[in-house]
């Protein structure tokens, strides 16, 4: 074996995936304490700014997905430790969508790798369509239209059924 063969083998070995102990339990606990605990670190208005929705809506989404989509149910790993929580998985997807961030942008805070983050995003989008699609992805009902017209009028745009306040 020549020296260049040894260098080639060493380069191939260095490209192997490295296991990273992310301590996912710590990430889940930190997320809970920061936003969902009774004495949360951050107030609701900061949650709304960072997640682009209010806390009750977020919790509703997490609960529905974890109850109806197997991917979002928390499982145990081979050692019996809890895997990523539904909260971590949904937060990952929503952060990626809200900020247009790359999949590895959530690693340090949520303790989740890039490939898993991409999987969370894919399953989240499919889950939202499957769980909420019949309710929200449909033609307007007269009741829904009246509600939208009322909201438009309250915001100073009578007769408008769309919203322009999402442009900020």
What pLDDT, in 10s, does the model give residues 39-69?
A: 999 999 999 988 888 999 999 999 999 999 9
- Answer whether residue 68 is part of any domain: yes
Please check whether residue 142 is in contact with residue 58, taking contact to mean a CB–CB distance below 8 angstroms. no
Neighbours of 50 (CB within 10 A): 16
Same domain, 53 and 127: yes
Please check whether residue 94 is in contact with residue 58, taking contact to mean a CB–CB distance below 8 angstroms. yes
Backbone angles phi, psi at 76, to 5 degrees: -110, 150
Mean pLDDT of 141-164: 83
| Closest to 146 in 3D by CA, of 134, 158, 164, 133 | 158
Sequence-separated (6 or more) residues with CB below 8 Å from residue 23? 111
Q: What is the pLDDT, as a whole number, of residue 168?
A: 39
115 is in which domain, residue-wise? 21-137
Q: Is residue 155 predicted with pLDDT exceeding 90?
A: no
Q: pLDDT per residue over 53-110, tens digit each?
A: 899 999 999 999 999 999 999 998 888 888 889 999 999 999 888 888 888 787 777 7
pTM above 0.85, yes or no: no
Same domain, 98 and 148: no
Same domain, 115 and 159: no
d(CA 117, CA 113): 6
Q: Is residue 167 predicted with pLDDT exceeding 50?
A: no
Same domain, 165 and 95: no
What is the band of 1 on the pLDDT scale with cuts at 50, 70, 90?
A: low
14-36 exposure pattern, b = at least 16 Cβ within 10 A, e = fewer: eeeeeeeebebeebbebbeeebe
DSSP string, 28-47: HHHHIIIIISTT-SS-HHHH
Q: pLDDT per residue over 116-143, tens digit each?
A: 899 999 999 999 999 998 877 677 788 8
Same domain, 38 and 108: yes
Number of structural domains the chain divides into: 2
Rg (CA), the chain: 21
Q: How far apart are the first and last CA of the chain?
A: 63
- Answer whether residue 66 is part of any domain: yes
Q: What is the pLDDT, as a whole number, of residue 163?
A: 64
Q: How far is CA 49 from the centre of its chain?
A: 15
* Mean per-residue pLDDT of the chain: 83
Q: What is the pLDDT, as a whole number, of residue 107?
A: 72
Q: What is the pLDDT, as a whole number, of residue 70?
A: 96
| Closest to 37 in 3D by CA, of 68, 59, 62, 57 | 59
């Amino acid at each position: 074996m020549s020296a260049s063969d040894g260098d080639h083998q060493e380069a191939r070995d260095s490209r192997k995936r490295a296991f990273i102990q992310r301590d996912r339990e710590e990430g889940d606990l930190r997320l809970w304490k920061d936003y969902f605990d009774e004495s949360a670190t951050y107030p609701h208005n900061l949650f709304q700014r960072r997640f682009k929705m209010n806390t009750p809506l977020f919790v509703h989404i997490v609960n529905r997905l974890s109850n109806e989509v197997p991917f979002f149910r928390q499982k145990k790993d081979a050692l019996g430790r809890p895997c990523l929580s539904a909260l971590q998985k949904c937060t990952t997807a929503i952060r990626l969508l809200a900020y247009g961030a790359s999949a590895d942008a959530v690693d340090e805070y949520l303790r989740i790798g890039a490939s898993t983050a991409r999987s969370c995003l894919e399953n989240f989008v499919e889950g939202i369509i499957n769980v909420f699609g019949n309710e929200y992805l449909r033609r307007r009902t007269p009741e829904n239209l009246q509600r939208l017209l009322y909201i438009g009028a309250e915001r100073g745009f009578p007769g408008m059924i769309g919203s322009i306040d999402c442009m900020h």
